[in-house]
C-alpha cells in the first residue's frame, strides 16, 4: 500500500484564532487525502472538526514570554524572542514531526517564520508554500512608521524569503498584483469563503444559544443598561405569571415546543475584532452614541422618564420606531480592556455592549442569529479582506464595513452590505436599516437576501478545490516553481 503524503501547516500564533489555516488543514485531510501536521502555538482551542479528524495531528509550541527582558530593552527582547522562536520552530519541523512533503506557512508573521520554514524545508528536502494573509512589514509600520529602519529590514526579510517559496497563495487580486509587480512573486488568489458550518441559524439554534449566553448578556457584573435593567423587569413579570425562565430569553420564547422571536426584542449587532490598532473601535462607539442621541431626538422623549418604565410600556403593546441595539463584540486582543472601560462611561439609554469570547462552535450560531454585522477592519496594507465578513455572509448576515481600497471585492454596496468612512455615516446606516424593526425594515431585509445569496454562491471547499489543490499537487510533484 502506498504511503500517504504529509503536509505541515505552520502558524506562528494561536491556531484557534487562525481559521483560514484550520480550513486549509481540514481540506488537506478531507479533500486531498493527506496526513496533516499542524505546528502552531497553543492558546485557544481549534474547531472540533480539527480535533476529531484522525488525519490531523496538532503539535503545540509554547509561546515565548520575555516580559522581564522587555522592561530592560524592548529591542533586545524582540531579537531574543525571534531567535528563540526560530530555534523552536526548526526543532519542531525537523525533529518532532514526521517528514513533510510540503509545508504551508501563514504569513504574517514573517520574522522568523519564513527563514525557519525555508531552512527546515531545505534540511528535510520538502517544498513550501506561503499563504499571504497580509504583509508583516505593514503591521510593524503601524507602530514604527514605514520609514523606520526596523520596518525596512523587515520588508527586505519578508521579500527575500517570500521569493524562495515554491508557491504562494494570497487573499485578493489587489495583493496578487502587488506581489507580482513589486515583489517578483507569482501568487494564486484563494479567496476566503465560509465553510459549511457557517449558515443561518434555525429558531431552535437561536433559542438555545441565547439561553447559553443569558448570564453574559442579561446579568453582566456591574453593568446597568437598557438590556440588564429591562430584562430584570421582564423576569419579575414572568415570575408574576409563573412563566418558566428557561422557556424565555431576551430574544425568544418557547411555548409548547414552539419557538417565537419576541416582537420587542433588541436588534442584535455583531462585530468580531482582534482589538488591534488596525481596527479603530472608537468609530463604532461614536456611532452608538450618535444613534442613541438621534433616536432620543426623533422620539422627543423626556429624559426624566425612567428606563424601566419606558420599556414596560413596550411590554404593554407599544412599540418604538427604533429598537434598542445590543452590540456583541467577540474576540481577544491587547486593546480590549481599554475599550471596555470606555464603554462603561458612555451612559447610553438605547444601546448596550457586551464583549465576550465564544467557542468555535458557538460563533457561527451567533452570526446566524444576529440582525447585522459590523466590520471595522481597515488592513495595514489595504490589500487583504476581513475574513469576519466572509463568515457573516456565510450565515446570511448583512454587513456594514469600513471602506478601504479593495473591500469592494467582497462587499457589494446595497446588495449584501453598506460601506462607511466615519462614525456619522455608520450611525446614519444604523438608523436607516433598523427603522421599523423587526417587521418593517425593508432595507435590512433586502441586504439580508443579498448576503444569503453571496454566502450560498461559494463555499471554502469548492474554492479550495478549484484554486488551492491544483497548486499543491504541482508543488508536491515538483512541476511548479515561482
Name the band, by pLDDT with cuts 50, 70 and 90, for residue 234.
low
| pLDDT tens sequence across 103-121 | 999 999 999 999 999 999 9
Higher per-residue confidence, 231 vs 150: 150
Q: Is 274 exposed, middle or buried (0-12, 13-18, 19+ CB in 10 A)?
A: middle
Q: In the predicted model, what is the mean pLDDT of the chain? A: 87
Indicate the length of the chain as a whole number. 482
Higher per-residue confidence, 365 vs 482: 365
Domain boundaries, the chain: 6-193+460-476, 203-457
Task: Give the helix ranges, DSSP H, for 179-251.
Answer: 203-212, 214-218, 228-240
Q: Is the sign of the CA dihedral 256, 259, 265, 271 positive or negative?
A: positive
| pLDDT tens sequence across 45-61 | 899 999 999 999 999 99
Please write down the long-range contacts of 262-266, taking CB distance under 8 Å and 24 or more positions apart. Answer: 263/319, 263/438, 263/439, 264/311, 264/314, 264/315, 264/319, 265/323, 265/438, 266/226, 266/227, 266/323, 266/324, 266/325, 266/326, 266/352
| Amino acid 246: pLDDT | 58
* Three-class SS state of 138: helix
| Amino acid 331: pLDDT | 85
Name the band, by pLDDT with cuts 50, 70 and 90, for residue 366.
very high
| Amino acid 2: pLDDT | 62
| pLDDT tens sequence across 122-169 | 999 999 999 999 999 999 998 888 999 999 999 999 999 999 999 999
Q: Judge whether residue 373 has pLDDT over 70.
A: yes
| pLDDT tens sequence across 235-292 | 554 444 444 545 889 999 988 888 999 998 999 999 988 887 767 888 999 999 999 9
Instruction: Look up residue 411 and give its three cell numbers.
Output: 462587499
Name the band, by pLDDT with cuts 50, 70 and 90, for residue 311.
very low
| Amino acid 143: pLDDT | 83
Q: Judge whether residue 8 has pLDDT over 90.
A: yes
| Amino acid 44: pLDDT | 86
* Three-class SS state of 37: strand
Q: Judge whether residue 309 has pLDDT over 50.
A: no
Class of the CATH domain delimited by 6-193+460-476: alpha beta
| Amino acid 232: pLDDT | 53
Please list, in sequence order, all residues whose beta carbon lies within 8 angstroms of the beta carbon of residue 299, skipping any fewer than 6 positions away: 320, 321, 322
Q: Is the sign of the CA dihedral 26, 374, 177, 161 positive or negative?
A: negative
Higher per-residue confidence, 228 vs 42: 42
Q: Calculate ∠ Cα 279-14-379, nearest 5°.
A: 25
Higher per-residue confidence, 233 vs 206: 206
Answer yes or no: are the C-beta atoms of 56 and 68 closer than 8 Å. no
Any idea which fold 203-457 has? Rossmann fold (3.40.50)
Q: Judge whether residue 176 has pLDDT over 90.
A: yes
Name the band, by pLDDT with cuts 50, 70 and 90, for residue 341.
confident
Closest CA to 406 of 195, 178, 167, 158: 178
Beta-carbon count within 10 A of 194 CB:
26
| pLDDT tens sequence across 180-191 | 999 999 999 999
Average pLDDT of the segment spanning 293-315? 56
Phi-psi sector, 323: left (phi>0), alpha (psi -120 to 50), beta: beta
Preceding omega of 438 cis (within 30 degrees of 0): yes
| pLDDT tens sequence across 60-99 | 998 887 766 656 667 777 888 899 999 999 999 999 999 9
Q: Judge whether residue 1 has pLDDT over 60.
A: no
Q: Is 317 exposed, middle or buried (0-12, 13-18, 19+ CB in 10 A)?
A: exposed
| Amino acid 320: pLDDT | 58
* Three-class SS state of 288: helix
Three-state helix/strand/coil letters over 157-187: HHHHHHHCCCEEEECCHHHHHHHHHHHCCCC
Tell me whether the CATH fold assigned to 6-193+460-476 matches the one assigned to 203-457: yes
Q: Which of 29-38, 71-80, 116-125, 465-474 has the lowest mean pLDDT?
A: 71-80
Higher per-residue confidence, 223 vs 89: 89
Name the band, by pLDDT with cuts 50, 70 and 90, for residue 342.
confident
| Amino acid 55: pLDDT | 97
Task: Say how far apart CA 4 and CA 7 lie, in whole Å.
Answer: 10
| Amino acid 307: pLDDT | 43
Amino acid at each position: 500500500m502506498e504511503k500517504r503524503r504529509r503536509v505541515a501547516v505552520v502558524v506562528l500564533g494561536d491556531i484557534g484564532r487562525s481559521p483560514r489555516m484550520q480550513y486549509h488543514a481540514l481540506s488537506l485531510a478531507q479533500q486531498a487525502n493527506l496526513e496533516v501536521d499542524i505546528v502552531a502555538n497553543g492558546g485557544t482551542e481549534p474547531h472540533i472538526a480539527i480535533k476529531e479528524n484522525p488525519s490531523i495531528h496538532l503539535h503545540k509550541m509554547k509561546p515565548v514570554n520575555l516580559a522581564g527582558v522587555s522592561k530592560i530593552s524592548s529591542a533586545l527582547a524582540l531579537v531574543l524572542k525571534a531567535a528563540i522562536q526560530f530555534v523552536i520552530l526548526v526543532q519542531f519541523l525537523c525533529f518532532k514531526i514526521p517528514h513533510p512533503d510540503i509545508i504551508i506557512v501563514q504569513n504574517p508573521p514573517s520574522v522568523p517564520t519564513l527563514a525557519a520554514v525555508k531552512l527546515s524545508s531545505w534540511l528535510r528536502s520538502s517544498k513550501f508554500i506561503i499563504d499571504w494573509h497580509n504583509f508583516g512589514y505593514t503591521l510593524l509600520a503601524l507602530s514604527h512608521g514605514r520609514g523606520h529602519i526596523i520596518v525596512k529590514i523587515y520588508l527586505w526579510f519578508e521579500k527575500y524569503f517570500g521569493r524562495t517559496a515554491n508557491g504562494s497563495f494570497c487573499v485578493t487580486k489587489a495583493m496578487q498584483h502587488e506581489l507580482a509587480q513589486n515583489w517578483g512573486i507569482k501568487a494564486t488568489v484563494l479567496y476566503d469563503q465560509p465553510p459549511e458550518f457557517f449558515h443561518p441559524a434555525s429558531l431552535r439554534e437561536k433559542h438555545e444559544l441565547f439561553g447559553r449566553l443569558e448570564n453574559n448578556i442579561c446579568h453582566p457584573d456591574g453593568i446597568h443598561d437598557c438590556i440588564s435593567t429591562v430584562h430584570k423587569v421582564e423576569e419579575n413579570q414572568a415570575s408574576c405569571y409563573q412563566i418558566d425562565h428557561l422557556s424565555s430569553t431576551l430574544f425568544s420564547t418557547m411555548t409548547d415546543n414552539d419557538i417565537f422571536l419576541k416582537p420587542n426584542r433588541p436588534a442584535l449587532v455583531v462585530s468580531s475584532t482582534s482589538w488591534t490598532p488596525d481596527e479603530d473601535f472608537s468609530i463604532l462607539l461614536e456611532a452608538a452614541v450618535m444613534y442613541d442621541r438621534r433616536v432620543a431626538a426623533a422620539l422627543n422623549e423626556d429624559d426624566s422618564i425612567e428606563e424601566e418604565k419606558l420599556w414596560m410600556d413596550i411590554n404593554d403593546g407599544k412599540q418604538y420606531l427604533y429598537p434598542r441595539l445590543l452590540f456583541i463584540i467577540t474576540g481577544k486582543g491587547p486593546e480590549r480592556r481599554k475599550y471596555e472601560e470606555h464603554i462603561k462611561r458612555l451612559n447610553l439609554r438605547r444601546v448596550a455592549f457586551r464583549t465576550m469570547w465564544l467557542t468555535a462552535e458557538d460563533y457561527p450560531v451567533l452570526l446566524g442569529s444576529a440582525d447585522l454585522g459590523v466590520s471595522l477592519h481597515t488592513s495595514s496594507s489595504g490589500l487583504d479582506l476581513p475574513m469576519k465578513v466572509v463568515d457573516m455572509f456565510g450565515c446570511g448576515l448583512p454587513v456594514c464595513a469600513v471602506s478601504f481600497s479593495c473591500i469592494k471585492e467582497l462587499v457589494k454596496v446595497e446588495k449584501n452590505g453598506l460601506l462607511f468612512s466615519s462614525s456619522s455615516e455608520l450611525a446614519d446606516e444604523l438608523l436607516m436599516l433598523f427603522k421599523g424593526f423587526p417587521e418593517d425594515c425593508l432595507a435590512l431585509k433586502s441586504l439580508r437576501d443579498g448576503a444569503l445569496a453571496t454566502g450560498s454562491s461559494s463555499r471554502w471547499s469548492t474554492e479550495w478545490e478549484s484554486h488551492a489543490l491544483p497548486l499543491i499537487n504541482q508543488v508536491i510533484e515538483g512541476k511548479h516553481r515561482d
